[in-house]
Amino acid sequence: MDRVVDRVGVLLYGPGMATVASGHIERLPSGSLRVRVYGGKDPVTGKERRYKRTVKTEAQAAAELARLLRDVEAERAPDDSATVGLLLDRYLDVADLEVSTREAHEGYIRRTIKPVLGEVRVRKLRADALDVLYAHLKKCSRLCGRLPRTEHYTDGEHVCDQRCGPLRDHRTPRPHQCDGRCRLHKCKPMAPASILRIHAIISAALNMAVRYEWIDRNPAEKASPPRARKREPDPPSPAQAARLLNEVWQENEEFGLYLWAAFTTGARRGELLALRENRFDFEVQEVTFARNYLVKQGHRIEKDTKTGEGRRLSLDALTCELFAEHFRRRRTALATAGVTVPPDAFVFSPDLAGELPWNPDTMTHRYGRYAAKAGISSSLKELRHYSATQLLSNGVDLRTVAGRLGHAEGSTTLRFYAQFAQPADRAAAVLLSAQLAGLRKKEQLRELFHQLPTAADEAALGVLAATLAPVVGIERETALAYLTQFAAERAPFTP
């Protein structure tokens, strides 16, 4: 029997198996050597940790066993069997994500990442595999090349009926009977922004694997996701906004007021729905947006705003009057029933007492119906863009616009609305140019004045102004004012 000695201990192995401490080496039928090490139990889950490596030679096996034992002793042994799917599950367990962000991450992981990379071992993942994934998503967001030709409505055993058929783009992910709204699949590329979000999720999970010492480097750093395309806002025009408000206000005054607030404040959908009556201060004409409202998987959630900070916005007198009248009508309608509206009632609510706000999706669908009637193709979110574009186009400074929108940094506002800040930028350019041009003409007039004899009186200055103004290219009155100033500067001092 052969004998191998290294600094970890004495390892004995031969045709069968050799052991040492908590690890051993076994010879496989192929002739390769497999190193196995027991790493104790996970302190949280209680599961056993077992690590293995497969090598070609006895020297490599001895070195690998020694290294694994050292890693286990240092409690930093990576699990070679860990897959990308397991890593993503661990990432979701420990990542600090907002509710809506977590739901979006789970959707991308469930629909796109796990079906392709879920079974790949983390240590085997390479940048080229990520590039292939991104390239396919640029062609088809459904990964149709990996889907079966027959699409079944359930994963379990079943008798196929009209719900099972060729690959289709279904109107809903729920079991249903296909109709004209479920059409044969047609490849549609995934938006670059969505691919970048998938890349960000994978990269964040792999960064966690590096911190846990499962891998040495993050392969996502060498991948090539698509570049983000600049999103061009497409808000309604002022004329379209007016038609929409007139259309809505005739049928639903509360929803009309909601749209009015969206147009004039630029607040997010959930921020408007989380708005309560006691957030208004009509005396100073201000409103405070401090919370955000959303519904996820049937759960009603009221949380902080997107930036985590509230903001106070100024209101005009008309907007204050519209909201005050809305509150008065609500109280008048409930007074006969003996119901009192609390001060913190939600402003936009399906019940008059304002106990719960509307579902955000309800407002989106409602807006879509009214917008279609008014000939507007943009979504509810574009009303926020309307506020920004109108303010910037009319010369309101970028910092004020960013503050009203609730952007954490002005760079965010500038990135999306730079083209709408151009009028103010052009005005600034004209201001500087006009100022320098005027100063040049003034200095030119000064040089001409000093080349002439001293003008004795106002009449002589008037004649001189009429003569020099066309030469310099300024108005006679402006030239006379400058010449009067120059004459006063040149006049001798008399005590």
The CATH number of residue 120's host domain is: 1.10.150.130
Integer Cα distance of 136 and 125 in angstroms: 17
Which of 61, 77, 93 is the endpoint of a domain?
77
* 193 shares its domain with 259: no
| CA 257 and chain centroid, separation | 27
* 95 shares its domain with 190: yes
The pLDDT tens digits for 418-468 are: 566 556 656 666 666 677 778 888 888 888 888 877 666 778 888 888 888
Here the tokens at position 366 are: 């409602």
* 343 shares its domain with 224: no
Q: What is the pLDDT of residue 45?
A: 66
* 485 shares its domain with 365: no
Helices (H), 95-126: 99-108, 114-117
* 264 shares its domain with 371: yes
Integer Cα distance of 20 and 29 in angstroms: 22
Q: Is residue 155 part of a domain?
A: no
The pLDDT tens digits for 402-428 are: 888 888 776 667 667 756 655 665 666
Please name the helix (run of DSSP H) or strand (run of DSSP E) that holds residue 12, with its range, or none.
strand 10-12
Q: Is residue 52 part of a domain?
A: yes
Q: How many domains does the chain have?
A: 4
Which of 77, 92, 110 is the endpoint of a domain?
77
Contact 287, 312 (CB under 8 A): yes
* 94 shares its domain with 41: no
- DSSP-derived secondary structure for 130-153: HHHHHHHHHH-TT-GGGS-SEE-S
* Rounded to 5°, angle at Cα 320 from 376 and 256: 25
* 262 shares its domain with 142: no
* 245 shares its domain with 111: no
Any idea what the CATH number is for the domain that residue 282 is in?
1.10.443.10
* 272 shares its domain with 208: no
Here the tokens at position 244 are: 């929409």
Q: Is residue 285 part of a domain?
A: yes
Integer Cα distance of 258 and 349 in angstroms: 11
Residue numbers of the domain that contains 65? 3-77
Q: Is residue 179 part of a domain?
A: no
Residue 166 has a CB neighbour count (10 Å cut-off) of 9
Q: What is the pLDDT of residue 14?
A: 39
Residue 394 has a CB neighbour count (10 Å cut-off) of 10
Q: Is 50 exposed, middle or buried (0-12, 13-18, 19+ CB in 10 A)?
A: middle
Q: Is residue 434 part of a domain?
A: yes
Question: Which residues, including other chains, have CB under 8 Å from residue 135's CB and lie 6 or more apart?
Answer: none
Q: Is residue 168 part of a domain?
A: no
Please name the helix (run of DSSP H) or strand (run of DSSP E) that holds residue 289, with its range, or none.
strand 286-289
The two beta strands, 299-304 and 291-296, are antiparallel
SS3 343: coil
* 350 shares its domain with 455: no
Q: Is residue 247 part of a domain?
A: yes
What is the mean pLDDT of each successive set of 10 residues along the chain, which is 495 residues long? 35 38 81 85 71 85 84 60 86 87 90 88 91 89 63 65 65 72 78 92 94 90 85 82 90 93 92 94 93 86 84 91 93 85 92 90 94 90 86 81 80 66 60 74 85 74 86 88 84 52
Dihedrals φ, ψ of 440, to 5°? -65, -45
Which of 351, 377, 403 is the endpoint of a domain?
377
Q: What is the pLDDT of residue 17?
A: 39
> In terms of residues, how long is the chain?
495
* 335 shares its domain with 449: no
Tell me which residue of 25, 18, 26, 21 sits closest to 39, measured CA to CA.
21
Q: Is residue 482 part of a domain?
A: yes
Integer Cα distance of 446 and 185 in angstroms: 78
- Going 347 to 348 to 351 to 357, the CA torsion angle's sign is negative
* 94 shares its domain with 55: no
